[in-house]
Amino acid sequence: MTLQVFGLPVSRGVAIGRAVLVASSRIDVAHYYIDPVDAPAEISRLRVARKRVSVELEALKQAVPADAQHELVALLDVHLMLLNDEAVAEATCAWIIDRHYNAEWAMAAQLEVLARQFDEMEDDYLRERKADLEQVAERVLRALADKSGERGTSAVGPKVGARDFAGEDPLVLVANDISPADMLQFKGSVFTGFVTDVGGKNSHTAIVARSLDIPAVVGAREASRLIRQDDWVIIDGDAGLVIVDPPPIVLEEYRFRQRQSQVERERLHRLRHKAAVTLDGARVELLANIELPGDAPGALASGAEGIGLFRSEFLFMNREGALPDEEEQYVAYRDAVLAMNGLPVTIRTVDIGADKPLERMSGHELRHEHTLNPAMGLRAIRWSLSEPQMFEAQVRAIYRAAAHGAVRLLIPMLTHANEITASLAVIKRVREQLMRESVAHGAIEVGAMVEVPAAALSLPLFLRHFDFVSIGTNDLIQYTLAIDRADEAVAHLYDPWHPAVLRLIADTIQQANQAGKGVCVCGEMAGDIEFTEVLIGFGLRSFSMHPACIPAVKQRILRSEARRLEAYAHDVLRSEDPRTVVRAAITSSVKAAA
């Protein structure tokens, strides 16, 4: 039966494929593909885990007091029966053999299938046995975890990137949620798109999806419950629509849209070597946002003139508490700098917090850094200043990478003068250390993120201390409007067109230009073609965005006149409803073209 599930569109395009469900569990489950030759070893791991649980349950039976309720023993017998069901065991092994899932993923996938079968049973007693099944499965998953400590505990992408493992059909991922770090596993993976139950349009998970140019829908609420393993699914990333089990005519329509989209991408790609200059000669710099050094070649291929934002925090995530040291960071930054062939690279110091929690070791236990309100907590520069050794190691690595090319250092979430003073003191101290030690390093420009209203309103202070500023519109909107951008319940209130947001951005650009300091927008607005003309009208001449967005933004710039857009931007700022000005301008353009 065809179903339609609605969510928030976060990454444009169409994906068509069979659903792969990452089932939610009360314990962490690793999801990765194995090499076919390792299938027997994974099946052996599963067999050992089942045997271990069987021994545990038998021991529990023996420990039941003689005067205990008979139902206790009967319940344990039910668990043993479910555990030793060979049909279930064979079906779980089939996921390993046919799909090349690791043992944990195979167990979770089979649990999902069986849980749905129990839900459909008419007999109340049998239907309630689903809870027993889940308890048994979680015992097996815990046993597997004890035997696989060397594996990652949250990756959803393939450990081996061969598309052959997916079989003939393309795959789309369906989950309750996917962390931003897990999203990076999509690079080169078999998944062509994803759907999540939760999430906001400007959460970091959505941002990474856009940077990977993967069609995606988040905040789809019931998607992981309504969609079944292997269902054919269409993800309409433009409309925020997920179509489950589509009829042939709908499937063919979306396949046609896919082909059209590919033709348009190829046409825009031909602009990659053309300079971004308006019709009246205003030169605009188009930079790329990246998460890892391996993204740099793709940025170059898209026509980027440098890296405007290297999100270094992704080097710190999904590491089970083992944070990268100076040498590892240096190699990563150096590789990105070398890959850009002399073009500038702006490295933001680690921005951990909010929807990018950091795993830390506490004693011998792995824990996650969570607070009651992580968006307002110990994140970004606040965390760095609280971890001086790590902060100094990162700054040293950035300075050393600057020996290989043009590097700029960008500090996130600054709000107070004492934070500015403390940060610059660390940077100065590190450079003096490197000079004393005769360690090769280069000169760097130091900039500040403007992503909190306090920073925008204190801009003269920032411009006195820094070489440039970069406006992080994602957080600026969030903090100006008091909206958690990762929460789909309030996502409709997250409004980049809010007059207060636009005024803060326009004032920041104007003041930086007047002071002769560089200013760039590196948030999602930079890559959104709806805002291209407005930002140019504000006086912005440097945009940093996902590489996939550069061709479309460049096309918009090539068709614009900067002088005309100044008056347009002024009208936008004066309006209580800026969208009405935008709609009127679009209507006027259409009439003129006609």
Distances in Å between the Cα of 588 and the Cα atoms of 87, 134, 581, 583 are 67, 60, 10, 9
Q: Can you spell out the DSSP letters for 118-154?
A: HHT-S-HHHHTTHHHHHHHHHHHHHHHHHH-TTS-SS
C-alpha distances (whole Å) from 421 to each of 24, 346, 514, 556 are: 45, 21, 24, 40
Strand locations in 356-493, DSSP E? 359-362, 365-368, 407-411, 444-450, 468-471
Say which of 31, 100, 204, 404 is annotated catalytic: 204
What distance in Å separates the CA atoms of residue 264 and residue 281, rounded to the nearest whole number? 26
d(CA 171, CA 166): 7
Which residue among 79, 441, 520, 522 is the active-site one? 522
Given CA atoms 252, 257, 260, 261 in this order, what sign does their dihedral have? negative
204 catalytic, yes or no? yes
Q: Cα 319 vs. chain centroid, distance in angstroms?
A: 16
The C-alpha atoms of residue 307 and residue 292 are separated, in whole angstroms, by 11
Answer whether 465's CB lies under 8 Å from 420's CB.
yes
| Pair of tokens at residue 10 | 């976060």
The yes-or-no answer on residue 93 being catalytic is: no
Nearest to 288 by CA among 346, 209, 204: 346
Q: C-alpha distances in angstroms, 34 versus 97, 160, 224?
A: 10, 7, 24
- Return d(Cα 188, Cα 174) in angstroms, integer: 18
Instruction: Supply the residues annotated as catalytic.
Output: 204, 522
